[in-house]
Amino acid sequence: MFQLFLIAFRNLGTHRRRTLLLGGAIAGVTALLVILMGLSQGMEETMLRSATTLGTGHVNVAGFYKITSGQAAPVVTAYPKILELVRKEVPELDYAVQRGRGWAKLVSEKTSSQVGVGGIDVKDEPGFRQVLQVRSGSMDDLAQPNTVLIFEKQAKRLEVKVGDVVTIAAPTMRGTNNTVDVRVAAIAADVGMMSDFNVYVPSQTLRSLYQLREDSTGAIFLYLKDLKQMAQVQARVRQLLTDAGYTLMDNDPRAFWFKFDVVNREEWTGQKLDITNWEDEMSFITWTLKALNGLTGILTFVLLVIIGVGIMNTLWIAIRERTREIGTLRAIGMQRTRVMVMFLFEAMTLGALGTLAGAIIGFVVCVAVDAAHVGVPEAAAMFIMSDRLHLVVNAGSVLGAMVFITGCTTLISLIPSFLAARLKPVTAMHHIG
């Protein structure tokens, strides 16, 4: 077999022009595939990181509190006890934060807009600074009471800058309207849909707006060391809180704002907890990711069809050109199986070398584009939640693509290799052309 491999390798060197042409095509397809995967994985990572930092945790302990049966608020009471229990019983936990939730009117001297209000303790949010880029002001100032972080589009729409004062108005849990004047502490770069309708204030400011107690919050966001453990942890937290005596809502895989109508129609009052994950809270992201992966799959299939047709045609031409050589090999005693294996080795070697070159080219392009911090159009930024293109090269995916394309190249060569092996020595040796 090793001799056959050497013969196949030498044949590739003998027919350099054809080898370079076909190997270049395989390398080009592989490089394009690596770049596509890098783009897809980079967008997925960017969207997931932005969404799970700004709007949801990997697993969420949220819920509703009802003073009367017809009026629900997204509030979790006595959250420190829940947080302590989860930290003690969930070893998969990386870190956890509490986040207030609200919907209010943001009023400037020029205009107003409806926004979602997140109450945060910025010092306890390790991921917040990694996702947001502050254009003016300081994120540290968000630790001061009665401050707000807004985004560039909002600042432009409200016609405010850092240091200006805006008013947040919202009804409390008892239905009484309340307002809080806040100073713009920082203006951050837009991060797509997440920045169109969200602002962030210190937790204490949000509690003051909604007249909540010190131990109340909107949700506890749990961030895991390994996202693959999300379903397992979600089920365990659910059982853990049930055993601890908390009343839980039935599992409803939707974002919390879709549940107000259902909760308001129910007769109960008091507290019910709701355990969700990031896929429940950000269903529009999972749809985008599925569409992105589907598009990558279609492009990959089209590329493989193109390269498959090219390989088969090239091998047909190669066999035609080498018919007399095949006849000679058969005449001196080479078996049909060995002739077929020799052509298969040739195709496999060509595929391996081509995919290796393509993977290196694709990797270099991905690293260069990522290092260049290439900006993206505003429409694209809205979906990927970042104004910069981020490419991620996964070694396992690249190796898988190389093996897959090399395997396809080898399989495609089966038919012409089989036909080459079936040639009769006398016919092959007298072949002209």
φ, ψ of residue 304 in degrees (nearest 5): -65, -35
CB neighbour burial string for 329-361, b if at least 16 within 10 angstroms, e if fewer: bbeeebeeebbbbbbbbbbbbbbbbbbbbbbeb
| Ordered structural domains, the chain, with CATH | 1-50+284-430 (no CATH), 96-215 (2.40.70)
Low-confidence ranges of the chain (pLDDT < 50): none
Q: Would you call 118 helix, strand, or coil by DSSP?
A: strand
What pairing do the DSSP bridges indicate for beta strands 165-171 and 219-224? unpaired
**CA atoms in the 13 A half-sphere facing the CB of 272:** 20
How far apart are alpha carbons 382 and 300 in whole angstroms?
25
> Judging by beta carbons within 10 Å of its beta carbon (0-12, 13-18, 19+), is residue 271 exposed, middle or buried?
middle
Name the token pair of 233.
Answer: 């942890």
- Confidence at residue 428, expressed as pLDDT on a 0 to 100 scale: 61
- Confidence at residue 306, expressed as pLDDT on a 0 to 100 scale: 75
- Confidence at residue 379, expressed as pLDDT on a 0 to 100 scale: 66
Give pTM, 2 decimals. 0.73
DSSP code, position 296: H
273 DSSP β-pair partners: 63, 248
**What is the residue whose two structure tokens read 């969207």?**
47
| Tens digits of residue pLDDT in 303-328 | 777 767 776 777 677 666 777 777 77
Contact 390, 373 (CB under 8 A): no
Give, in order, the Cα–Cα distances in Å from 174 to each of 17, 73, 140, 197. Answer: 81, 10, 33, 24
Contact 137, 158 (CB under 8 A): no
* CB atoms near residue 397 (< 10 Å): 16
How far apart are alpha carbons 278 and 44 in whole angstroms?
14
- Confidence at residue 407, expressed as pLDDT on a 0 to 100 scale: 85
- Confidence at residue 76, expressed as pLDDT on a 0 to 100 scale: 94
How far apart are alpha carbons 392 and 402 in whole angstroms?
17
- Confidence at residue 382, expressed as pLDDT on a 0 to 100 scale: 66
Name the token pair of 141.
Answer: 């100032």
Answer left, alpha or beta for residue 333, where phi above 0 means left and psi between -120 and 50 means alpha.
left
Answer left, alpha or beta for residue 270, where phi above 0 means left and psi between -120 and 50 means alpha.
left
12-13-14-17 Cα dihedral, nearest 10 degrees: 80
